[in-house]
Amino acid sequence: MEVAMSKDLQQEANLAKKRYMDLCRQGRIFDARNRIIGGDTQAWDFQVRDQKIKEITDKARHEAFAAEMKHNDKVMCIAHDREQRHRKQLCRAINDFQQNFQKPETRREFDLSDPLALQKELPARVSDNDMRNTISGMQKFMGEDLNFQERRRFQKEQSREWFLQQHGEREKARADHILAERLHTQARLKFDETARELLKLEGSTRKEICAAVKAFNKNQVVELTERKRQEKQQEQEDNMTEITNLLHGGLLSENPRQVASSFGPHRVVLDHWKGMNREQLEEIWFTQKQQIQEKLRLQEEERQHSMDWDLRRIRKAHASLLHERQQQRLLREQRRALDCSNLNLARQQYLQKKQMNTASSSQPTEDYFSQFNTRSR
């Protein structure tokens, strides 16, 4: 007899639990009514129990919140009452301090609101020398002072003194003006006399200058005439000398040695050279003919060379065309062989497919379907 170990018992219990769960699941799955309509009462019981537990928990939490709110309200009421009492005490202390230490008479601006200020003030005008009688106060105007008579007599005396002073100044100014006019007249007469003398002196000086200029111009004309005569004579002599030199020189005598240049025998002096002779011209013509013949020969050689290259290109193009045709012919043969091979393969595939359809034409039996849907997994 074998002894059952705890591990074996646990394993057996697990297997039994799995079998039971599997049977329950099969019952739920294979029962069409429960699967379609539903009706899991056990799950519903669990949901009802969870809902009741949740309601009890919420109720307890709400009650705790309500108790805490009541406590907070009580604390707030106590704090509010305490603040009100403190505020009343503070206001009472402020009023006492103002009544004892801040009386209206001790204020700096009390004189502005003192009800007895008019009784305490002095009159608007005590005397003429009162310092309070300012211009803006309009308490004293011109001519309303107490010393009016004395001031009027002093003003008359002052006016008389001013008049006498102005009269003396006016007489003095008139005398100064007359003296200035007399001096001005004398100065003008003196200036006119001086100007008259200067005009006379200027006229005599101008006459002397004109005479000197006239004599100078006359001398200049004589000198110019003599200079022109000498220049004309010199020009005539130079012309005669030049004509003589040209007549006896090598330019008009056509001396061939005079065109030879000092830089070499192949160069000439351009201002003495009168053109090439007959021999030189014939030599140039002969050279030109040789150049023309040489150019024709080169053109002929180039034409022959071009014809050779054209012939080579034609031959090469013909060979290329033949090679291309050969390639096309080979490609057609390869394509034809490939088509034949594909046709044979298609026939073989068709026969093989036909055989497979014939072999798999049997119908499934009931045993084939009974092997499905036997477990819940």
Going by pLDDT thresholds of 50, 70 and 90, the confidence category of residue 297 is very high
Q: Are residues 163 and 264 in the same domain?
A: yes
| Per-residue model confidence as pLDDT tens digits over 95-131 | 888 888 888 778 788 878 888 888 877 776 677 677 7
pLDDT tens digits for range 337-346:
999 999 999 9
pLDDT in tens, 237-274: 888 888 877 666 655 555 666 666 667 666 766 666 66
What is the pLDDT at residue 109?
A: 81
pLDDT band at 1 (very low <50, low <70, confident <90, very high): very low
224 and 302 both lie in a single domain: no
Flag whether 372 is in a domain.
Answer: no
Who's near 370: CB < 8 A, 6+ residues apart?
A: none
The residue ranking higher by pLDDT, 279 or 175, is 175
Number of structural domains found in the chain: 4
Q: 231 and 168 in one domain?
A: yes
Q: Kindly state whether residues 167 and 260 are assigned to the same domain.
A: yes
**Residue 309 domain-assigned (yes or no):** yes
Q: Tell which of 275, 307, 331 closes a domain.
A: 275
**Averaged pLDDT score across all residues of the chain:** 82
**pLDDT digit string, tens, across residues 169-223:** 999 999 999 998 888 888 888 888 888 888 888 888 888 888 888 888 888 888 9
184 inside domain: yes
Instruction: Please tell me the predicted confidence (pLDDT) of residue 375.
Output: 65
The answer on pLDDT for 37 being more than 70 is: no
For 150-167, write each residue's pLDDT tens digit: 888 888 899 989 999 999
State whether 171 and 238 are in the same domain: yes
The whole-number average pLDDT for the span 141-149 is 70
Mean per-residue pLDDT for 27-35? Answer: 69
pLDDT of residue 148: 74
User: Does residue 167 sit within a domain?
Assistant: yes
Point out the domain boundary residue: 55, 76, 99. Answer: 99
Do the Cβ atoms of 152 and 134 come closer than 8 Å?
A: no
Burial class (CB in 10 A: 0-12, 13-18, 19+), 132: exposed
* 88 confidence band (pLDDT: 50, 70, 90): very high
Confidence band for 19, pLDDT divided at 50, 70 and 90: confident
Are 93 and 16 in a shared domain? no
Running DSSP on this structure, what letter comes out for residue 4?
P
Same domain? 47 vs 32? no
What is the percent of the chain where pLDDT is above 90? 16
The model's pLDDT over 313-341, given as tens digits with 9 standing for 90+, comes to: 998 988 889 999 999 999 999 999 999 99
Please enumerate in sequence order all residues whose Cβ is within 8 A of that of 35, keeping only pairs 6 or more positions apart, or say none: 28, 29
Residues 168 and 267 in one domain: yes
300, 247: one domain: no
- Number of other CB atoms surrounding residue 241 within 10 Å: 10
In a domain, 162, yes or no: yes
Q: With respect to residue 1, please indicate whether it lies within any of the assigned structural domains.
A: yes
The domain of 316 spans 286-345
Domain stop point among 56, 83, 99: 99
Asked if residue 366 is part of any domain, the answer here is no
Q: What are phi and psi of 266, to 5 degrees?
A: -85, 0
What is the percent of the chain where pLDDT is above 70? Answer: 80
- Supply the pLDDT for residue 36: 67
136 falls within a domain: no
Q: Are residues 311 and 255 in the same domain?
A: no
Residues 182 and 211 in one domain: yes
Say yes or no: 263 and 306 in one domain. no
DSSP string covering 254-297: T-GGGGEETTEEEEE-TTT-----HHHHHHHHHHHHHHHHHHHH
Rg (CA), the chain: 77
